[in-house]
Chains A and B, each alone.
Chain A
């Protein structure tokens, strides 16, 4: 079991950035009006911010981080660690975190590296940042989580295209000897084909065949460089495993479901998330969503939802449960308590 608690770092703020361009699912012309209505009702997704002008994940995380550093009034020379979590980095190499160390004007004494995870990435990234900071060797850190998933989906694939939005986020952590977070991390590689871009890595390098489109079922046209999603398998996995994982974490922490003030899930789709919420018996008033106007923003969805929720609500000293699940298959949860967070308005670039 990967259940553990980490002492030594505290979240000080969260920021998010999205591309300005908005795409509406009501205008998605590859399906009928009846299917559009069913899609919006089931997924909860009406609008998505899309990187229409070539914005990269690094650009979005840069904008979020820049804003957050300014609002926190942090000296850039005092940031020791940058972790970038994404499955859509700016380059195959080098790591985007290192490029951002330079773009953000951080010191060369900053440690910087990438973690390649999607939907579960924020919780994993937070656990890595917190663990490194627990050594006392890092005083301030930035966790940058984001994805430009729109670059990997085929507009003629109704099973993926209407779901994903683009977003980059920044979470600021500071050393605090007494502050604690708890995690439960899991993985199951036997589900690797459930969400996959089949070609482009070393297993299947790009060839001419990679870009040959095929209709796999009505309304599902894609090629091997596109994202493939087996929606039913992912759905079954998520509604089964996410509640078990979260329940085990709460047991480990000695916290009951009733004690939780806020339950923030990876924003996959409304039907899936609501099924998880109902299984955990958490009141809907404690569960914020950003699906309607942002869609599934992959690794950015939890911090984006925190930002959007925290802009509207009192958030100091809340007991928060985070739950993430998806591509890998990979999933995890985190229990933490909020302090005096700085949360700027979502940046649009």
Chain B
């Protein structure tokens, strides 16, 4: 499986490639993603697509509302890898 077991740094680096319209360097582990300037619901869709394509992990809108930071999101994805 692609991306299985990526550490937090690699996870964020890959996600930064997907969210290339954001200011470079704005994705940091403990930044609350909804506080990022110009954050949009479209970014949420990009994150859902990324988790599905890269890790075969289903992330829902409810998951994204529950997580606050990229660290939270990474923890969630890691906990679901290989379980769906």
Q: Which A residues lie at the B interface, using CB under 8 A?
A: 34-35, 37-39, 41-42, 159, 217, 230-233, 235-236, 239-240, 271-272, 274-275, 278-279
Whether the pair A240, B58 counts as a contact (CB closer than 8 A) is yes
CB contacts (< 8 Å) of A240 on chain B: these are 52, 58
Q: A233-B60, A233-B61, A271-B46 are in contact. Are A35 and B40 (CB under 8 A)?
A: yes
Q: A232-B64, A275-B49 are in contact. Are A42 and B42 (CB under 8 A)?
A: yes
B44 at the A interface (CB under 8 A): yes
Whether the pair B38, A232 counts as a contact (CB closer than 8 A) is no
Determine the residue in chain B with the shortest Cβ distance to A233.
B61
Chain B min CB distance to A26 (Å): 16
Whether the pair A231, B45 counts as a contact (CB closer than 8 A) is yes
CB contacts (< 8 Å) of B38 on chain A: these are 34
Chain B min CB distance to A96 (Å): 33
Chain A min CB distance to B22 (Å): 10
The complex places the Cα of A279 from the Cα of B59 at a distance, in Å, of 15
The complex places the Cα of A236 from the Cα of B65 at a distance, in Å, of 14
The contact size tier of chain B is 10 to 19
Of the listed residues B46, B49, B56, B58, the one surrounded by the most CB atoms of chain A closer than 10 A to its CB is B49
CB contacts (< 8 Å) of A279 on chain B: these are 52-53, 56
B67 at the A interface (CB under 8 A): no
Chain B min CB distance to A256 (Å): 20
CB contacts (< 8 Å) of A230 on chain B: these are 61
Q: A42-B46, A232-B61, A236-B60 are in contact. Are A275 and B52 (CB under 8 A)?
A: yes
The complex places the Cα of A279 from the Cα of B45 at a distance, in Å, of 16
Whether the pair B49, A271 counts as a contact (CB closer than 8 A) is yes
Chain A min CB distance to B73 (Å): 14
Whether the pair A232, B41 counts as a contact (CB closer than 8 A) is yes
The complex places the Cα of A231 from the Cα of B53 at a distance, in Å, of 18
Chain B min CB distance to A281 (Å): 11
Chain A min CB distance to B43 (Å): 8
The complex places the Cα of A278 from the Cα of B51 at a distance, in Å, of 12
CB contacts (< 8 Å) of B48 on chain A: these are 232, 235-236, 239
The complex places the Cα of A230 from the Cα of B65 at a distance, in Å, of 13
Q: A34-B38, A38-B40, A231-B41 are in contact. Are A239 and B61 (CB under 8 A)?
A: no
Extra 10 A-B pairs, beta carbons < 8 Å, given A37-B21, A235-B49, A279-B56: A35-B42, A39-B42, A41-B21, A232-B64, A236-B59, A239-B58, A240-B52, A271-B46, A272-B49, A279-B53
Q: A34-B38, A231-B45, A232-B45 are in contact. Are A275 and B60 (CB under 8 A)?
A: no
Whether the pair A235, B42 counts as a contact (CB closer than 8 A) is no
Whether the pair A42, B45 counts as a contact (CB closer than 8 A) is yes
Whether the pair B21, A38 counts as a contact (CB closer than 8 A) is yes
Chain B min CB distance to A230 (Å): 7
Whether the pair A236, B42 counts as a contact (CB closer than 8 A) is no
CB contacts (< 8 Å) of B53 on chain A: these are 275, 278-279
Determine the residue in chain B with the shortest Cβ distance to A159.
B41
The complex places the Cα of A279 from the Cα of B60 at a distance, in Å, of 17
B58 partner, pick from A37, A231, A236, beta carbons under 8 A = A236
Determine the residue in chain A with the shortest Cβ distance to B2.
A278
CB contacts (< 8 Å) of A217 on chain B: these are 41
The complex places the Cα of A236 from the Cα of B38 at a distance, in Å, of 23
CB contacts (< 8 Å) of B59 on chain A: these are 236
Of the listed residues A232, A235, A271, the one surrounded by the most CB atoms of chain B closer than 10 A to its CB is A232
